Structure 1
């Protein structure tokens, strides 16, 4: 009888840990999460020139100036809706009257459809086209043009975190005409130059790919993307984060850096509840930038480079091509950020024409890589100033 009682207690504890959810945002999709805070949300779609259907989350504010926000690697639009209305940038922008749009990179759960390719049946070709160079040249132009066509404005504001900053930086070099469609670009911890990254996780992955022939194994077994999509595994991870948050904190901080003061530990299960897939080629491209210390296109090897680029070496993204009379940049970076370190941001600033800077780059000594989107005081140190700067911009409303 005593054994049975213990068993009942154990089963009850397991039930409550697995099915009782004190953090409902864990189970909510992006729009459900936003609507639960009493803000409007709809999922729109536009198709890129190369056939990807890109999902765009929209916090409608009819007639408001359009702002586009773009997430980082291993994330989707949910990253902008992790905390509360007084803390998250999307709500502050909406409260200020802006028409807010959240992009989702190709290959994420909200942008996995393609006109002819399938992530399962056409795995290799599909996931190779999810590398960030394609996202810069196709996703951003498609979304920007869609927003401008449907709002009647000539320009929009842009906020990119991490990889979202990389995409815009590439776009402005490869298609400089978009510098006249984006009036203000807020780059939050931009990984453009990354030679000095101190992330132990990135360094470990880099060594594994180079020295353990992991890339060869991926090719041998037809693995073209990595990610945790199994709902049972996601549930397990979120439960671990609830009961033993230090485990998840350590995993996150191994990538991004340490900052306990600016991190809401009770919401860690929400922060890691939307894991995304990373294409192998995209990962390799990023690591090439780390190893070469250069901001360049994907290096296929000399033979294929000649076929694709017309030269043996992969071309660099030429930041000098960015028009100085177009998009203005606001750059924020952190002292506890081990992924994008100050030395590399200094390199970026030196490569840019000073005339493209809206203001002097802002250094936040205690900020880690994820504080720029998840930090509880990002509103105080970044978002209020971003809203003020956007309010001053001329978006060029077209009279109808």
Structure 2
């Protein structure tokens, strides 16, 4: 967004808006221009960039792989932070970041505003998310050969149905069930939100997040098998991030 609604070109530093898990860049545009951060920043003179994480509808290209190939989905947020976010910064010398949910900081930034950033996920308030992690549901999809996690797909829907049928679980509003009471989506825009979310991610990414929910640690992806961890990390357990 190189200019605000007035048409005046940006005269302030670039800002990257990074969406969260199971959504895409349209997240920043759901509400009215006076309530959407992207418009607010652009109207105030900032050079606004909106990212779309790999695997979402606007970011499914690849130099050699197709989304139909399992190798295309062989990543978790480790790769998103180490490669994709860094490449985005390098493409445009970005000096500020507003990040939601799943990206870590880089020393290429001047400042950052983190909205519910990933950290100690064992403290997550969503009972649905905790139950899904404890049931190893993402791992079950992976064992079934489903490398792309399609939240509104048949397999994921069946597993979600299994969770919601458990005693004590209530899922009439799935958005609140995942996030807790939501402060920031105008109720009149709920249908717009549901028309655009959820978006695909890698099943491996969901497994990585579930591991963090279960362990309470901020670590790299655990391949579980010690030999595989040795192959990737030269140690039997995944390294912890310096938090």
TM value normalised by structure 1 = 0.52
Q: What residue is the counterpart of 1:162 in the other structure?
A: 101
Cα contact 1:248–1:268 (8 A) shared by 2: no
1:128 is aligned to 2:74: yes
1:257 is aligned to 2:193: no
Mark the structure with the bigger radius of gyration: 1
Q: What residue is the counterpart of 1:296 in the other structure?
A: 219
In 1: Cα distance, 2:37 partner to 2:176 partner: 22
Q: What residue is the counterpart of 1:318 in the other structure?
A: 242
Q: Secondary structure at the match of 1:205?
A: helix
Deviation at 1:309, TM superposition (A): 0.4
Deviation at 1:219, TM superposition (A): 2.4
1:305 is aligned to 2:229: yes
Q: What residue is the counterpart of 2:122 in the other structure?
A: 195
Q: Secondary structure at the match of 1:100?
A: strand
Deviation at 1:229, TM superposition (A): 6.6
1:98 is aligned to 2:22: no
After superposition, what is the alpha-carbon deviation per residue over 1:152-197, rounded to whole angstroms, capped at 9, x for unaligned?
A: xxx511000112xxx224xx3xxxxxx1x21011011112111121
Q: Secondary structure at the match of 1:78?
A: helix
Q: Secondary structure at the match of 2:196?
A: coil
Q: Secondary structure at the match of 1:298?
A: coil
For the structure 1 residues 216 and 80, does the alpha-carbon distance in structure 2 shift closer, same or farther, using more than 3 Å as the test? Answer: closer
- List alignment gaps of at least 5 residues for structure 2: 154-169
Equivalenced residue count is: 224
Deviation at 1:86, TM superposition (A): 1.1
For the structure 1 residues 285 and 39, does the alpha-carbon distance in structure 2 shift closer, same or farther, using more than 3 Å as the test? Answer: farther
Deviation at 1:208, TM superposition (A): 2.6
For the structure 1 residues 143 and 226, does the alpha-carbon distance in structure 2 shift closer, same or farther, using more than 3 Å as the test? Answer: same
Cα contact 1:206–1:287 (8 A) shared by 2: yes
Q: What residue is the counterpart of 1:330 in the other structure?
A: none
For the structure 1 residues 39 and 139, does the alpha-carbon distance in structure 2 shift closer, same or farther, using more than 3 Å as the test? Answer: farther
1:10-25 to 2 correspondences below 5 Å: none
- List alignment gaps of at least 5 residues for structure 1: 1-30, 41-59, 149-154, 173-178, 231-246, 320-400
After superposition, what is the alpha-carbon deviation per residue over 1:182-225, rounded to whole angstroms, capped at 9, x for unaligned?
A: 10110111121111212122122113316xxx6345423x2112
Q: Secondary structure at the match of 1:118?
A: coil
Q: Secondary structure at the match of 1:168?
A: coil
Higher relative contact order (CA 8 A, sep 6+): 2
Deviation at 1:75, TM superposition (A): 0.4
Cα contact 1:68–1:158 (8 A) shared by 2: yes
Q: Root-mean-square deviation (CA), in Å? A: 2.6
In 2: Cα distance, 1:159 partner to 1:144 partner: 13
For the structure 1 residues 127 and 297, does the alpha-carbon distance in structure 2 shift closer, same or farther, using more than 3 Å as the test? Answer: same
Cα contact 1:61–1:100 (8 A) shared by 2: no
For the structure 1 residues 262 and 287, does the alpha-carbon distance in structure 2 shift closer, same or farther, using more than 3 Å as the test? Answer: closer
**Structure 2 residue corresponding to 1:207, chosen from 130, 134, 147:** 134
Deviation at 1:271, TM superposition (A): 1.1
Which aligned runs of 4 or more in structure 1 are off by greater than 6 angstroms?
none
In 1: Cα distance, 2:91 partner to 2:142 partner: 36
Q: What residue is the counterpart of 1:137 in the other structure?
A: 82
In 2: Cα distance, 1:248 partner to 1:84 partner: 28
Q: Secondary structure at the match of 1:312?
A: coil
1:1-400 to 2 correspondences below 5 Å: 61-120=9-68, 122=69, 124-129=70-75, 131-148=76-93, 156-163=95-102, 167-169=103-105, 172=106, 179=107, 181-209=108-136, 215-216=139-140, 218-220=142-144, 222-228=145-151, 250-259=173-182, 263-275=185-197, 276-301=199-224, 302-319=226-243
After superposition, what is the alpha-carbon deviation per residue over 1:315-347, rounded to whole angstroms, capped at 9, x for unaligned?
A: 01113xxxxxxxxxxxxxxxxxxxxxxxxxxxx
